[in-house]
Amino acid sequence: MGVAAKIAPSMLSSDFANLASEAQRMLDFGADWLHMDIMDGHFVPNLTIGAPVIESLRKHSKAYLDCHLMVTNPLDYVEPLGKAGASGFTFHVEVSKENWQELVQRIKSKGMKPGVALKPGTPIEEVYPLIEAENPVEMVLVMTVEPGFGGQKFMLEMMDKVRTLRKKYPALDIEVDGGLGPSTIEAAASAGANCIVAGSSVFGAAEPAHVISLLRNSVEEAQRNS
């Protein structure tokens, strides 16, 4: 058995005006985590939610809030997100070259799980030092679309990164994000991803519970066959 499958619906595809009930609906449908896309309108050309929304949601839910920071200055968000009740804090390697050690240390000191994300154009080698550090990140998020928006097409060529990571780090949490759904999960699962973010394929489904269990089954099946 490999690392546990975690299915994380991306709340970016939810009805933000009803966030608490949308979150509960996803948990009832079998979600493990809730993926929260935090964008600053600068690192990516879109602006979404921040710590106040996480804080509001936390009052309604005990769920694991898997925060994906698409922001230029992730360090500025550690304190407010920690206070707000975030569970995971995943920053982008492209904007953290100078201060990732400090970031990881601060994220952990606030009781959150540190993760690092990389854009499609960023080589996988760039995250190795963060995984091999004395104080390491605990998850790597491989972007399978250009960050910024839901509903984009899955980039199959990113699976080389996932395969390389899985071979090198058998126990690492590897998350994929962007364009995941019933037609792309097999590629991601067989490459070795175990944390699956899915926005439009879950929220747009007639039966979201069915999609969530299909995603989980694919990950578990791929692990049995590996």
The catalytic residue positions are 37, 177
Return the closest-CA partner of residue 50 out of 72, 78, 81, 75: 81
Taking the least distance from each CB to ligand DX5, the nearer of 130 and 177 is 177
| DSSP per position, 90-104 | EEEGGG-TTTHHHHH
- Please select the residue that binds ligand DX5; options are 26, 137, 191, 198, rule is CB under 6 A: 198
- Tell me how far, at minimum, the Cβ of 131 lies from ligand DX5, in Å: 21
- Please select the residue that binds ligand DX5; options are 108, 151, 209, 213, rule is CB under 6 A: 151
Within positions 54 to 113, which residues make up the interface with ligand DX5, using CB under 6 A? 68
Within positions 126 to 145, which residues make up the interface with ligand DX5, using CB under 6 A? 145
12 within 8 A of 39, measured Cβ to Cβ: no
- Please select the residue that binds ligand DX5; options are 31, 67, 95, 197, rule is CB under 6 A: 197
Contact segment (CB under 6 A) with ligand DX5 among 80-88, 93-101, 147-155, 218-226 equals 147-155
For the chain, counts of helices (H) and of strands (E) = 9, 8
Distance CA 68, CA 143 (A): 11
Return the closest-CA partner of residue 39 out of 87, 77, 79, 7: 77
